[in-house]
């Protein structure tokens, strides 16, 4: 199974940017990087995904390193509602439907 490495926890202050790192050194050319987050007592929700180029959506930005072995999820202005566990997931080529969730990064946002 494709594996990613994330810090167990990170802390941020409200209204400041947050950069959540992820290493995926085994990534191959057709593997996507997905980010999901899980708010307390809820199911995971999709945040963003990318293949090679940086991606932006209304929730976040995804910066993918040139060698694709790491990526960073960027929350431009953290809010208290962004406190959650963030999962970085590498999906394998033609099996992009198989999401293997690790332990993720617990993000705490301080008021």
Partner 1 sequence: DADVTQTPRNRITKTGKRIMLECSQTKGHDRMYWYRQDPGLGLRLIYYSFDVKDINKGEISDGYSVSRQAQAKFSLSLESAIPNQTALYFCATSDSGLAGAGNEQFFGPGTRLTVL
* Minimal distance, residue 102 CB to partner 1, in Å: 5
* Minimal distance, residue 46 CB to partner 1, in Å: 4
From the list 25, 30, 54, 56, which residue makes contact with partner 1 (rule: CB under 8 A)? 30
Determine the Cα–Cα distance for residues 104 and 66; give it in Å rounded to an integer. Answer: 23
Of 14-22, 37-45, 63-71, 73-81: span binding partner 1 (CB under 8 A): 37-45
Residue 29, CB-side half-sphere exposure with 13 Å CA sphere: 0
* Minimal distance, residue 7 CB to partner 1, in Å: 15
Contact call for residue 68 and partner 1 (CB under 8 A):
no
Q: Which residues make up the interface to partner 1 (CB under 8 A)? A: 30, 32, 34, 36, 42-46, 49, 87, 91, 93-94, 96-104
């Amino acid at each position: 199974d494709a594996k990613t490495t994330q810090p167990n926890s990170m802390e941020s202050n409200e209204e400041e940017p947050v950069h959540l790192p992820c290493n995926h050194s085994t990534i191959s050319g057709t593997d996507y990087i997905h980010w999901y987050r899980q708010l307390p007592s809820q199911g995971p929700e999709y945040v963003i995904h990318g293949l090679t180029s940086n991606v932006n959506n209304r929730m976040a930005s995804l910066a993918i390193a040139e060698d694709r072995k790491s990526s960073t999820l960027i929350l431009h202005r953290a809010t208290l509602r962004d406190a959650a566990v963030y999962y970085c997931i590498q999906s394998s080529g033609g099996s992009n439907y198989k999401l293997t969730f690790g332990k993720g990064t617990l993000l705490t946002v301080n008021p």
